[in-house]
Amino acid sequence: MTGFEVYKVYLALKQHFTKQEYDYFKYHGKVRANENSFEQRRDRYFFKKLATRYPSKEIIGYFVANFISDPKGYIGSFSKDIYTEWKIHQESFTYKFKQDVDLLLEETNNNFDNIFLSTGQHPPLLKSFYASEVDLETLVVFEHCIGYTKNLDKVIKDPIWRETKKVIKKYEPFLDIDCQRYKKVILETIKEKL
């Protein structure tokens, strides 16, 4: 990959995470970009350095990790450390998911359905997420495998929830989610509680 190609990936992912109407996968990462304009940018060396440091598959992971960390997508705040931490987290996520489910069950007196229960306020799942007790990936896994956001949309009208839902939906296609494995983790965790 060239620095310009890395820049185009960055632009596509920035649009994916910041604009409601753009979908990286639907448009196959296509964006309008001009190589002459790219060469005029002050930060072009950053993209050229990334092109030599990472293969093309890893570039997407690098940007996704950094956009999740910094939703505004300021390139100066992107770092290798954020990407490395994100990769480690992805590799050990099944264990962290089990911990998150355990915590959520404790908060709802071992009633799994109550994790998503809302009477106009945030359910325990969102409260725990906003308190940094459960991971964003846990919300994404639950959405992918169970699909709870449509029900919450009917009762929760605040902008914080709308922004959280947008992040969940935008992040979901970048994660490799095996629902069978996560459902098994949920059932094992519930059995341990009984």
What's the average model confidence in pLDDT over 127-146? 96
Which of 46, 69, 88 is where one domain is finished? 88
Same domain, 80 and 16: yes
Same domain, 83 and 105: no
Residue 70 belongs to domain with CATH number: 1.10.8.60
Same domain, 96 and 174: yes
**pLDDT value, residue 161:** 94
Confidence of residue 104 (pLDDT cuts 50, 70, 90): very high
Check pLDDT > 80 for residue 126: yes
What's the average model confidence in pLDDT over 11-30? 94
Handedness of CA 17, 22, 26, 28 (dihedral sign): negative
Which of 57, 88, 119 is where one domain is finished? 88
What does the mean pLDDT of the chain come to?
93
Interatomic CA distance for residues 192 and 194, integer angstroms: 6
Same domain, 83 and 98: no
**pLDDT value, residue 39:** 94
**pLDDT value, residue 102:** 95
Interatomic CA distance for residues 148 and 117, integer angstroms: 10
Q: Give the structural domain span for 16.
A: 3-88
Check pLDDT > 90 for residue 193: no
- List the one residue out of 194, 123, 175 whose CA is nearest residue 154: 123
Confidence of residue 76 (pLDDT cuts 50, 70, 90): confident
Same domain, 189 and 96: yes
- List the one residue out of 127, 120, 118, 133 whose CA is nearest residue 164: 127
Share of the chain above pLDDT 70, in %: 100
Check pLDDT > 80 for residue 180: yes
Check pLDDT > 90 for residue 71: no
Interatomic CA distance for residues 7 and 15, integer angstroms: 12
Share of the chain above pLDDT 90, in %: 88
Least confident of 66-80, 99-113, 119-133, 152-166: 66-80
Check pLDDT > 90 for residue 37: yes
DSSP string, the chain: --HHHHHHHHHHHHHHHH-TT--TTTTTT-----HHHHHH-TTHHHHHHHHHHS-HHHHHHHHHHHHHH-TT--GGG--HHHHHHHHHHHHTHHHHHHHHHHHHHHHTTT-GGGGG--SSS--HHHHHHHTTSS-HHHHHHHHHHT--HHHHHHH---HHHHHHHHHHHHHGGGS---HHHHHHHHHHHHHHH-
Same domain, 76 and 31: yes
Instruction: Specify the number of domains making up the chain.
Output: 2
Check pLDDT > 80 for residue 48: yes
pTM for this prediction: 0.90
Contact status, residue 19 vs residue 165, Cβ threshold 8 Å: no
Same domain, 33 and 119: no
Which of 67, 88, 109 is where one domain is finished? 88
Which CA distances in Å does 46 have to 39, 83, 152?
A: 12, 15, 41
